[in-house]
Structure 1
Amino acid sequence: MNDNNDSLFNQSLEKGLAVLRAFNATQRTMNLAEIAAAADINKSSAQRMVHTLEQLGYVRKHPQTKRFQLTPRVMEIGYNYLAADTLVDVANPFLAELAQFTGETTNLTEPEGLDMVYVARFVAPKFIPIHMPIGSRIPMYCTGSGRAYLSALPAADTRQILEASDRQAHTRHTLTGITDILREIDASQQRGYALNAEELFLGDMSIAAPILGSQGLPVAAVHVVVPSSRWTLEEAERKLAPSVIECARAIRASIRTL
């Protein structure tokens, strides 16, 4: 919880949002004690927050288990963001064209903290090893889209993000050392696109390029999923990288103000 002395800061709202964020794929349903622990608030606060959210329709109690879970109404908040995001509207036709040309799944991700968040996705009819729905988060340090974004930031900002990241090894291919990751980011900057070779998920590779905003700083990244069952990384670079770069540039050219 935030402990600053900002007189305008609403701690009740903070606690309510913490309760909503406490639910996830590993904690789909919880009782009050579990909610309090997950949200890092006391049980009485958890009870007030859950009651309010239940009355507003964002949380419900299962009639048999008596455990709480989120309702579909929570998605309204995320949908409103996507509906208001000019970048998504601009990018969608270019992502669709890229998906048609490559025959593979294309994605748009935006930065949030130390992660990239999926905000648009065109799924190819072919099998892809990993399903990443809209709203999914992936760490910047070990993903193509994250490194593409980092490659367009000032060097000091890039290093700060890497130092703050929990650089764990998700697979045997994951780079975790800052020097090694910076070397990859420098290479990405030189060639105009970034790579991920099974560093987050086995069988899942990607080619990504940053999308720059009106101030010349990155605002998002576009990437194509390259399953190792159909591509070698070298072949994908040769055949797909130019199209990924062109897609990112076309989106940038169509952005008026961000």
Structure 2
Amino acid sequence: MTHTPLRTEPGLRRLSDDQREDPLFIQSIDRALQVLSAFHGTDRALTLSEIARRANIDRSAAQRVVHTLRTLGYMRRDAADRGFLPGVRLLDHALDFLRLDPLVQQATPVLLELRRNAQERVDLSLFDGQRVVYAARMQSKRETFYATLVGHSVPTYCSSGGWAILAALPEAEARALVEASDRRSFTAHTLTATDTIMERVAETRQQGFSCAQEQILVGEIAIGAAVMGADGRPVGAVHLAGSLGEWEAEAFTRRFAPLVVEAARAISRY
């Protein structure tokens, strides 16, 4: 399987004018987070000018924000002094999220058992609109460094977990989400037409799980099942992925789909 090192769906939020003009909204915090978000999708250190451009702020404002974040330990110079990188203190916040999130806490023992039984890669993703974000990753023997990283995200419209989540949404809402996505191709097999994607979503809804082949990675097959919240809406998904070089699609689905569905149900809060 071929892996990409870049996050596929940056976690950027587009705010309305009303949201930005809210008297409780703090513009300086917004700018600081825009600066940190400048690193989404890059694979190297960024210069001050690049940070300013990516954060959509002027260079003077970027300089002040970067200086403040460096002082606080949230940014650093790279070893060759060619630019800036995120700082180690950001990991404190990632840890806080993972250890305090009830869903991750409840899912971890279930995922460990699934990984032990399947001996294939197991992931928990969280639903975030047009993307799903990996909050737990339990690897197989084949995985590369980038495939082990929590926080990596993939599009909802073309991932096994994404299809499972879409299948758990009302039809109109799911279609609107797909139509709002950019629907670019990652492989020659990525589904990009809305109607074709919705056919897969309908199939997923009928059988209770999704099966995606080579949608994001060449040679990968993945099964997904939605994790439901107490309000009856999907909050994430369990994924189990293998290699088409080792498995026929039918055999993979027959062997692992029941396990994935059982794990997702065990984590869900009906």
Whether these two folds match at TM > 0.5 is yes
Are the structure 2 counterparts of residues 226 and 10 from structure 1 closer, same or farther at C-alpha, using a change threshold of 3 Å?
Answer: same
Question: Which of 199, 218, 236 pairs up with 1:220?
Answer: 236
Partner of 1:23: 39
Partner of 2:11: none
Shift of 1:107: 0.8
The number of aligned residues is 253
The one-letter code of the counterpart of 2:142 is F
Find the residue that maps to 1:99 and give its secondary structure: helix
- Is the 8 Å Cα contact of residues 106 and 123 (structure 1) preserved in structure 2? yes
Greater Cα offset, 76-85 or 166-175: 76-85
Partner of 1:156: 172
- Is the 8 Å Cα contact of residues 127 and 235 (structure 2) preserved in structure 1? yes
Question: Which of 239, 244, 258 pairs up with 2:260?
Answer: 244
The one-letter code of the counterpart of 2:113 is E
1:66-90 C-alpha deviation (Å, 9 max, x unpaired): 5211122112222211111111111
Question: How many Å separate the matches in 1 of 2:170 and 2:45?
Answer: 42
The one-letter code of the counterpart of 1:10 is I
Shift of 1:29: 1.0
Question: How many Å separate the matches in 2 of 1:233 and 1:40?
Answer: 45
1:127 aligns with 2:142: yes
TM-score by length of 2: 0.89
Question: Which of 172, 184, 192 pairs up with 1:168?
Answer: 184
Alignment map for 1:97-112 (pairs within 5 Å): 97-112=113-128
1:153-175 C-alpha deviation (Å, 9 max, x unpaired): 11121112101111011111011
Partner of 1:38: 54
The one-letter code of the counterpart of 2:169 is L
1:233 aligns with 2:261: no
Find the residue that maps to 2:239 and give its secondary structure: strand
Alignment map for 1:57-68 (pairs within 5 Å): 57-62=73-78, 64-68=80-84
Question: How many Å separate the matches in 1 of 2:79 and 2:221?
Answer: 43
1:131-170 C-alpha deviation (Å, 9 max, x unpaired): 2411100000001011111110111211121011110111
Find the residue that maps to 1:17 and give its secondary structure: helix
Identity %: 38
Shift of 1:99: 0.9
The one-letter code of the counterpart of 2:239 is H
RMSD: 1.7
- Is the 8 Å Cα contact of residues 128 and 227 (structure 1) preserved in structure 2? no
1:155-202 C-alpha deviation (Å, 9 max, x unpaired): 121112101111011111011000000000000000000111001110
The one-letter code of the counterpart of 1:136 is H
- Is the 8 Å Cα contact of residues 105 and 122 (structure 1) preserved in structure 2? yes
The one-letter code of the counterpart of 2:227 is I
Q: Tell me, which stretches of 5 or more residues in structure 2 are unaligned? A: 1-13
Greater Cα offset, 173-182 or 53-62: 53-62
Alignment map for 1:139-150 (pairs within 5 Å): 139-150=155-166
- Is the 8 Å Cα contact of residues 127 and 234 (structure 2) preserved in structure 1? no
The one-letter code of the counterpart of 2:162 is G
Find the residue that maps to 1:215 and give its secondary structure: coil
Q: Tell me, which stretches of 5 or more residues in structure 1 are unaligned? A: none
Shift of 1:64: 4.5
1:183 aligns with 2:194: no
Find the residue that maps to 1:174 and give its secondary structure: coil
Find the residue that maps to 1:131 and give its secondary structure: helix
Question: Which of 3, 10, 14 pairs up with 2:30?
Answer: 14
- Is the 8 Å Cα contact of residues 156 and 163 (structure 2) preserved in structure 1? yes
Find the residue that maps to 2:157 and give its secondary structure: coil
Higher relative CO (Cα under 8 Å, sequence separation at least 6) belongs to 2
Question: How many Å separate the matches in 1 of 2:78 and 2:236?
Answer: 39
Question: How many Å separate the matches in 1 of 2:26 and 2:96?
Answer: 22
Shift of 1:27: 4.7
The one-letter code of the counterpart of 1:240 is F
